[in-house]
Amino acid sequence: MNQRQVRAWVTYDWANSAFATTMMAAVMPVFYESVAGAGLGEGVALSYWGYTQTIAMLCVAILSPVLGAIADFRGSKVRFLSVFAFLGALSCLVSFFIGEGDWLLASLLVILGTIGFSGGNTFYDALLPDLVPERNRDVVSARGFAAGYLGGGLLLALNIAMIEGWEMFGFPDKTTATQTVFVTVGIWWIVFSIPLLRAVKDRPANRAVPLLRVVRTGFARNLATLRRIRQYPELAKYMLAYWFFNDGINTIIIMATIYGATIGIGTTHLIIALLITQFVGYPCTLLFGRLAARLGSKPSLYLSLFIYVLIVILGYFMSTEWHFYALAILVGLVQGGSQAIARSIYANLTPPSRRAEFFGFLSLSSKFSASAGPFLFGLVGTLTGSARLGILAVLAFFVIGILLLMLVNLVKGRDEALAGEGGNAGTAVTA
C-alpha cells in the first residue's frame, strides 16, 4: 500500500466535502430559500429545492454507470474524476452571480455542482480497492470521510465568519458575503484535488479504440452488469438494502437545513448546527471505522441506521434551535461512519476486476433511488402544506433498508465476488 497515494486519496475527500457542507447542507439551502427563492409562496422554495435535488440525482444516474465502465475499459478513473471535480468547482465559482429571485439559475448551478460532486465520487470510490488492500479498507474509507468532515468543517467555519462578520471582512452586505462564500468552495475544491491528481496515475489507456466504440462498450458492459448481478445474490440483496437506507441518509443531508429554515429556525443557528455536525463527525467517523474492524461491518452499520431512525422521529417534533443542535450532534455521530462502512461493504462484495463498473452501476441505481427521497419530501410538503410530514415520510427508507440488510450474508457475498477472480474464498468478513 503506497502511503503517499493513500494520503492523496484521503485529501480529495477534504477537497470535495466543502461542496457537501456549504453548497448542499448549510449555506446554499438557506440562501436558496431566503434570496434565490424570494417571491415564491410559502413552502414553495423547499419543494423546489427537493425537485432540484431529484433532477440532479437523475442526471448523475444517467451518466455514472457508462462512465464507470469506460473508466475500467480505458483505465481513466483519475482523468474522469478530474473532469467532474472541475465541473463542480466551476459551478461554485459561477454561483457568485445568483441574486434575489434567481431560483432557476441557482437550481441549474446546484444541479451542475451535484453532477460534478457525485460523478467524481464514482471514480473516487472505485479507486479505493485499487489503492488499499481489503483488510485496511474500513479504516482508510473512514479516514476519507473523517478528512471530509474536518476539511468541510474548517471551510464552513470560515464561511460562517464571512457571512456573520461581513462588515469586518469588507463586504458591502450579507448577500455579497454569501455569494463570495460560494467562490471559496470552488477554489478549495480545486486546490485540494491537486495531491490526488499528482500522486495517483491511471493505468495505460487503450487509446487506439475510437471513443464511440468505447461508449458503446460502456452501455454494453452495464447491460451485462445488470445481467451479471444474478451471479452475486448477496450483492444484489445488499444493493437493494443500500438503495433504501442511502436514500434516507441523502435526504437528511440535503433537506435538513432548508427544513429547519421553513419551520422558523434562524439562519445563524442552522449553519452553526451544521458546523457542529462536521466536527462531531470527524472523530466519530474514525471511531466507526475502528468499531467496524472490531465488531464487524454489518453490526456497526445497523447501529448507525437505528440512530437515523431516532433522528427522523425527533426531527418531526423539532420546534426550537436547541432541538436542531441536538439533532445535528446525532447526525454527526453516524453520518460519516454509516457511509464509510456502507462503501467498504460494497467494495468487498464486488468482483475485483470490475469494481469501477460496479461502482458506476451502484451510482446509477442509487441515484435513481436517491431521487425518490427529496421528491417525496417535496411532494408531501406540497400536498399537505406540512414540512413535518415530509420529514416523517423519510422514516420508511430507513426501516425498509434495515429489514433488507438483515437478509444479507457478507461472508457468502465475498466468496461469490471472488469466484472466478483468482482469489481465495473465506476472507474474514464479519456477517
Query: CB burial class (10 A; 0-12, 13-18, 19+) of residue 233?
Result: middle
- Strands of 66-174, DSSP E: none
Looking at the structure of the chain, the number of domains it has is 1
Contact between 340 and 138 under an 8 Å Cβ cutoff? The reply is yes
Residue 243 forms part of a structural domain: yes
Question: Range of 357's domain?
Answer: 3-418
pLDDT of residue 203: 67
Residue 30 forms part of a structural domain: yes
Residue 251 forms part of a structural domain: yes
Look up the CATH number of the domain holding residue 12: 1.20.1250.20
Residue 426 forms part of a structural domain: no
Can you read off the three cell numbers belonging to residue 51? 425537485
Contact between 338 and 17 under an 8 Å Cβ cutoff? The reply is no
Residue 377 forms part of a structural domain: yes
DSSP 21: I
Number of Cβ atoms within 10 Å of the Cβ of 134: 16
Alpha-carbon distance of 221 to 215, in angstroms, equals 10
Alpha-carbon distance of 17 to 282, in angstroms, equals 12
pTM, 2 dp: 0.74
Alpha-carbon distance of 41 to 103, in angstroms, equals 13
Contact between 199 and 5 under an 8 Å Cβ cutoff? The reply is yes
pLDDT of residue 316: 84
Selection from 167, 171, 190, 188 nearest residue 179 by Cα: 171
Selection from 147, 185, 146, 170 nearest residue 27 by Cα: 185
**Tell me: the pLDDT tens digits for 214-246?**
667 666 766 777 788 888 889 989 988 998 998
Residue 423 forms part of a structural domain: no
pLDDT of residue 110: 95
Residue 428 forms part of a structural domain: no
Predicted confidence pLDDT, tens digits, the chain (431 residues): 788 899 999 999 999 999 988 998 888 988 998 899 888 876 788 888 888 988 888 887 777 666 766 666 666 788 889 999 999 999 999 999 999 999 999 999 999 999 999 888 878 887 887 888 877 877 787 788 778 878 988 998 899 899 989 999 999 999 999 999 999 999 999 999 999 999 988 766 555 666 677 667 666 766 777 788 888 889 989 988 998 998 888 888 777 777 787 777 877 788 888 788 877 877 887 787 788 778 888 898 999 999 999 998 888 888 788 888 888 888 888 887 888 888 888 888 888 777 767 876 776 677 677 777 777 877 887 777 777 787 888 888 999 999 999 999 988 888 888 874 654 444 433 44
